[in-house]
Amino acid sequence: MHLLESWVRFSLADNLEIPRTSQVNQANSLILLKILVILCVEYLKGKGAQINVANKFSKQFVSTDDVDGQDEELITERPKTEIFYESPKKIISYNTSPDINMSASINPYQGCEHGCVYCYARNSHEYWGFSSGLDFETKIIVKKNAPQLLERTFLSLNYKPQVIMLSGNTDCYQPLERKFKLTREILSICLKYLHPVAIITKNSLILRDVDLLKELAEQNLVQVVFSITSQDESLRRILEPRTASARKKFEAMRILNEEGIPAGIMNAPIIPSLNHHEIPSILKEAAKNGARFAGYTVVRLNGQIQKIFKDWLIKNFPARADKVWHQIQQLHGGQVNDSEFGRRVSGAGETSRIINQLFLAAKRKYFKNEALANLDCSKFRKGGNYTLF
């Protein structure tokens, strides 16, 4: 993209003879020309990341920049999804981050076809030898033995139950779940052993499992969070291309709540100047569809996500890119990445204060009776649903 910008500047200054007296006109023309050039660069529809970036653990990397500076992407075809199978030895991951409520999680899939460009899980794809860019959304690792491993864990003598998050890293209802049904099997095992589980998803495929969720909910063993970023379909399609639309997620939220399955909303991530103005309308719609609770997080761009997001931002919002980038920096003490507990999810400074006020005002207005019981760990049955008497 830097090459592209240099080319635009070169063309403007030396080839188009724009009157140098008018700086405003020159700036406007620059933006227009940028847009025109960007429109000519092939855009991979249906993908969030538009590039692959170097894996910090790999010695070699195939660059997508033309070495002769022609701004010609080497990725010319739409990458297809590839599936890789993995048989891990353990299935529950634990973390000790103080700003995450639940410390146990299961991820039956690594990588996520939903392709959200801002996804923090992208970086974890590097541990598998892949890029956090396009690879993350096209090379998906499937842990086929996840349900069996979970059952074995539940049967081990020293296992102590605590709420398991499905999924802490990638989405357990991403498109491949339709084929593999690992999440469904995991829910069946949670039901068999009466183990509590919390689910966060950006897909309405969860409706397929209403039967199991309903039984879990009757025992206070499940909560569902729908992660919703925008009601603007033109934004969602480029920002998180293979997720369900907000309309579908609100509908799923309504159905779950009507079935007695407590479901709420995570308005995340908030990206200043892209979706922050939607906070009130999203919370209003969530409340209308029975949401029992609401939360939010702000965007942060750790590791390689910086490059992926910046490339995406300039390609999609050339006129607004600098402003958005600067505001993300304001949220995180001058950086776009942030690993400081607490600040990394809510941000700090003026931009964070505006977002927080907007959220709290909407929450006060639409979520007057927010109340959520803790899930029940006391019912856990080590022997499953088979008893001798």
| Binding flag, residue 229, ligand SF4 (CB under 6 A) | no
| Binding flag, residue 134, ligand SF4 (CB under 6 A) | no
Among 44, 53, 106, 119, binds ligand SF4 (CB under 6 A): 119
| Binding flag, residue 202, ligand SF4 (CB under 6 A) | yes
Query: Among the candidate windows 49-57, 109-117, 177-185, 316-324, which touches ligand SF4 by CB under 6 A?
Result: 109-117
Nearer to ligand SF4, 174 or 318 (CB): 174
Cβ–Cβ contacts within 10 Å for residue 383, how many?
11
| Binding flag, residue 336, ligand SF4 (CB under 6 A) | no
| Binding flag, residue 236, ligand SF4 (CB under 6 A) | no
| Binding flag, residue 240, ligand SF4 (CB under 6 A) | yes
Query: Site for ligand SF4 (CB under 6 A): how many residues?
Result: 11
Among 44, 51, 112, 213, binds ligand SF4 (CB under 6 A): 112
Residue 14 Cα distances to 10, 19, 24, 28, 157, angstroms: 6, 11, 17, 17, 75
Which helix (H) or strand (E) segment holds residue 235: the answer is helix 233-239
Question: Under rule CB under 6 A, which residues in 243-302 are in contact with ligand SF4?
Answer: 243
Quote the least distance from Cβ 112 to ligand SF4, whole Å. Answer: 3
State whether residue 166 is helix, strand or coil.
Answer: strand
Among 34, 114, 276, 300, binds ligand SF4 (CB under 6 A): 114
| Binding flag, residue 198, ligand SF4 (CB under 6 A) | no
| Binding flag, residue 121, ligand SF4 (CB under 6 A) | yes
Nearer to ligand SF4, 171 or 311 (CB): 171
Query: Among the candidate windows 34-42, 116-124, 143-151, 208-216, which touches ligand SF4 by CB under 6 A?
Result: 116-124
Report the sign of the C-alpha dihedral through residues 60, 65, 66, 68, in that order. Answer: negative
Query: Using N-to-C axis directions, what is the helix angle for 279-288 and 246-258, rounded to 10°?
Result: 30
State whether residue 136 is helix, strand or coil.
Answer: helix
State whether residue 264 is helix, strand or coil.
Answer: strand
Quote the least distance from Cβ 203 to ligand SF4, whole Å. Answer: 7
Summarize the chain as % helix, strand, coil (round to 5): 40, 10, 45
Query: Among the candidate windows 1-9, 10-18, 29-37, 114-122, which touches ligand SF4 by CB under 6 A?
Result: 114-122
Nearer to ligand SF4, 34 or 122 (CB): 122
Q: Which long-range contacts (CB under 8 A, 24 or more apart) does 151-159 make?
A: 151/189, 151/192, 151/193, 153/90, 153/91, 153/92, 154/189, 154/193, 154/195, 154/380, 154/382, 154/384, 155/382, 159/382
H, E, C per residue of 91-111? CEEECCCCCCCCCEEECCEEC
Q: Which two tokens stand for residue 4?
A: 């592209």
Beta-strand relationship, 197-201 and 104-106: unpaired
State whether residue 329 is helix, strand or coil.
Answer: helix
Among 8, 116, 172, 246, binds ligand SF4 (CB under 6 A): 116
Quote the least distance from Cβ 273 to ligand SF4, whole Å. Answer: 20
Beta bridge partners of 296: 267
| Binding flag, residue 124, ligand SF4 (CB under 6 A) | no
Binding site for ligand SF4 (CB under 6 A): 112, 114-116, 119, 121, 170-171, 202, 240, 243
